[in-house]
Homo-oligomer: A and B are copies of this chain.
Amino acid sequence: MADNLPADTATRILDAAEALFAEHGFDGASMRMITSQAGVNLAAVNYHFGSKEGLFQEVFHRRLAELNKQRLACLDALEAESAGAAPKPSRVLEAFFGPALEMAADTARGGATFMRLLGRTYTEPAEFIRKFMAVEYAEVVERYTRALYAALPDVPKAEIVWRLHFMMGAVSYAFSGIDALALVTGRFDDDPALLKPRLTAFLLGGLRAPLPDGPEGKSGP
């Protein structure tokens, strides 16, 4: 994105699209905005990606393939290191969110922009988006849920799935960076280096929280 080498047409489009989708959303960013920011012709999007949806999907695939490959590698390393024993929950979380946090801190090569886009897209449930996200994430989610089941044998599986859900929400929101709160509380310090330990501490606290009672104390005897 911030490379000063001249990139090829397809890459220039992907970079411009990433930034504009992050800022305006899928509908809000028009192909005219994208192609003019990329310095290419309007028709180039259809030529290279088939359609606007195809472009959107490729923006995600480019980054997510890399991100999820790293996540799987981290988990492989962790499981090899533990040699059969269940790894600690904190290590599993770190393996999962670490690569994402690194990407979010990489402002130079557009990683930060992409993570904002990703956070925002989790709540944009257009049909075609859900479809390819499911495919893109399938293996990672499957492996990590199993790892968490093993790491937290005392927490019911349904509870773990929910908590993974909550964690992804907290992380998405932190990435999407709208700072709805900041508008009111005043801009608080947001050194990206501090985000990682803060977020990790919070997530781990939530993940290992004492189990809730049933609704209004309806839990078993």
Q: Which residue of B lies closest to A188 (CB)?
A: B161
A120 touches B124 (CB 8 A): yes
A168 & B162 in contact (Cβ 8 Å cutoff): no
**A209 at interface by CB-CB < 8 Å:** yes
Is A181 a contact of B161 with CB atoms below 8 Å? yes
B184-A173 in contact (CB<8A): no
- Residue A43 lies at the interface, judged by CB distance under 8 Å to chain B: no
A211 at the interface (CB under 8 A from B): yes
Binary B-proximity of A124-138 (CB < 8 A = 1, otherwise 0): 111000100110011
Copies in the complex: 2
Closest CB in chain B relative to A116 CB, distance in Å: 9
Q: Is the CB of B206 within 8 A of A202?
A: yes
B206 touches A212 (CB 8 A): no
Contacts of A162 in B (CB 8 A): 188, 198, 202
Q: Known pairs A123-B123, A125-B176, A169-B169; list 6 more (Cβ under 8 Å).
A: A120-B124, A123-B178, A137-B184, A158-B189, A170-B170, A203-B206
